[in-house]
Structure 1
Amino acid sequence: MFTEPFGNLISSQAREVIAEIDSQPDEYFDSIPTEEFSKYLESKYSLDEFPTLVWEEIEMEIGETEIYGRDLPRTFDISNPNEKFKRKLVVYHIPINGNVGLLRFSPTNRYSISGMNGKLTIRNNTLDVSFIDIYNQPEKIDSDFDRTKNAIAGKLNVVKGEYDNFHKELPKFIDGEIKKRIQKINRTNDYKSKFKYPIKKKNIPAAFESPRIVKKKKIIPKPVGASNTVTNQRFITDEDYMHILGLLQDCGNNWEHFPELYKGKGEEALRDQLIFVLAPNIEGVVAGEAYNKKGKTDISIKHESTNLFIGECKIWKGPKGFLETIDQILCYLTWRDSKAAIMMFVPNQEISAVRKATEESAKSHPNFVRILDVINDGWTNYRFHIENDPGTYITLAVQLYHLPKL
């Protein structure tokens, strides 16, 4: 931890942004909107989620280690410096959320590290802070750890400020570099225009496309209950839920824009395409046709044995079929499952009537509570209560994908 100034990372990102802008042929900037290219670069060069240490879920491990006499304090009267002495090894395990790799960066400017004791080691998604209890004083070890905890939190807070400022300034930096490149192109074109003979054209593609960057996101289930309560129950956050739904919506948008992607495909094939979109972008177990309570769900995202998200895919066949789909998905849900979705494939030529019918049908369902959010014309989040339990609520998203001549 804290081995490299965060400013080094910022400088590296800036150099890569400039190199990518400069690597594009001049004609690229005539073929696509600069806003689109700017958004692409912003997505590509923004950093992953900043790491947070879950201090509320600290676990301790107490073992034994050996220490040479020469490594003991001078207050010990040691005749043989090579003699080994057994001492307690106390390790505090702190879970880490977010991009663990960012923990190697320290504040760019000089920052005091006073109060940081113990040995810091990162293993997978856990920070281990180790102490050797030389004096056999557990209270001193706890006190040393508290000082170390405060020192770590202080340094992370400073780095987080630089991280936030980087993302605040990144769009302006990218736009500025694109403008510089365009100004350079304009100067070159102005120079070329002074000649009376035509300039030889380069052999370049007829059109350019700005690729879309989708960052892999780790879905981290949060513990149910108060922070000081030990529990194995987990739930999915609203942010992660919307991230999953956003990926599904993007896939639906691609179908609407490129009909050849869904032409000739049935319900299961379309469901598989949604799974193919989710699987590489979600660090979790993404499965199709997974068993859950009373049946099999089309899509499920699990953490260990906990369902974080379940979804049902259907072809629109009218309000009656839509209500049956709601019944079906509510029957799948247990009290531990709080978030679900219905992905409705609409083959009708006119979709406006279908949007109205889904809302009216949802409101008429006996388990309906209220509308939570209308994200867009084809995506609404609802609040329902689960089957036979009016006091337990779930969030159910309904997304409509307009696929005429399905």
Structure 2
Amino acid sequence: MEDEISQLTSDELKNSTDSLSLIFASKYTPAQITLHDPIKEDGGEVERDVSHRQDLMILDRSTPTYKTYKRIKVRLPFDGDRDLLKIRPGKHNLNPPTYASLKSNEIVYYAEYSADKDPDEIADKIQNEIENWVEDVEWYIEQLNTSIRKMESRMEQKARRAIERRRDTEDTHQQVMEVLDVDDGSTTDVGYVSPEKKRNIELPSQDEDSSIEVMPDQTFTEVLEVINDLGVNLQRSADRVRDLDEESLRDIFLMGINSHYAGLATGETFNRGGKTDILLRYENRNLFVAECKFWKGQSVYTDAIGQLLGNLTARDTHAALLVFSNRTNINTVRDRVGTATDHHDQYVTELPDFTDHNVYRFELENGTPVKIAVKVFDLQ
């Protein structure tokens, strides 16, 4: 990471230290592991040698004695790097969760039982065994993710120091060029984002009419401006962030929003129909919900809009969909995004009052209006 930072150009250094440190910390820190709901299947049968079992009547224990067991196969899907699950986190116990196999995107476990007992008793025992195993895995993953978050924080500080050193070097170089009256060919400052102080949030009183939107449009616009600034920085650093996954890109925006709103935003948070990528909450009220997606065609984009709408409650009035294009021509993507948006079943109209932001009115299934901004960023 430090070697890459030492090669930053003066144009790239026009991005703020905050933004650059977030980009490099996300790039050089593994994404956290996200678990999904377990899937139970018939696991067939297996024969086990039970000659060591003292609770069974076995005449000759000197030779193997086999017994047939039924199995329930439990698949626990996850997002993230499989190899991380082989690492012992900073906080751990002496009995890490066991599993039958570890695949690229799921952990497999088998619960075995003998079919010579009462079905209800068997079902209760198996259910408890599976629940305990899932809880053990969840605890282990949380400790692993805690270690990853600490690592990301350390990497951000390390990147910040390296960026400042590189900035000092470039500043010295620029001063020498000015003294010698040498044209360095530098570009304008478009895209530069200076660090800003924490923003204040003013909400309407909860005693007021419930029809009043929770988040003022002014605050919505401010959040979109923060997202725009971060997006410009990402586009300027496209060659360095092109290989980042959705979660890493989400973390960059999440940390950027938190740098302005005092840590009020969270990631991968449950909200109504599922988990949202970014959720900004204040005084126990949802202000802003966002999803991050790579451009993979109009049908996937339409599904993403549907996912976002499905995660909104009747009081979630402002949201955004962040779309990253790393292969298709950006103008083509923007045209197709506009077409797909206009043809969405829950689309109502575009809202022209939001200057410099593509904001549309959609309706939830219950008829509640919601404002959704669509931001498209070019990472080619």
Task: Identify which of structures 1 and 2 has the higher relative contact order when contacts are C-alpha pairs closer than 8 Å and 6+ apart.
Answer: 2
Larger Rg: 1
Q: Normalising by structure 2, what TM-score?
A: 0.49
TM-score (norm 1): 0.46
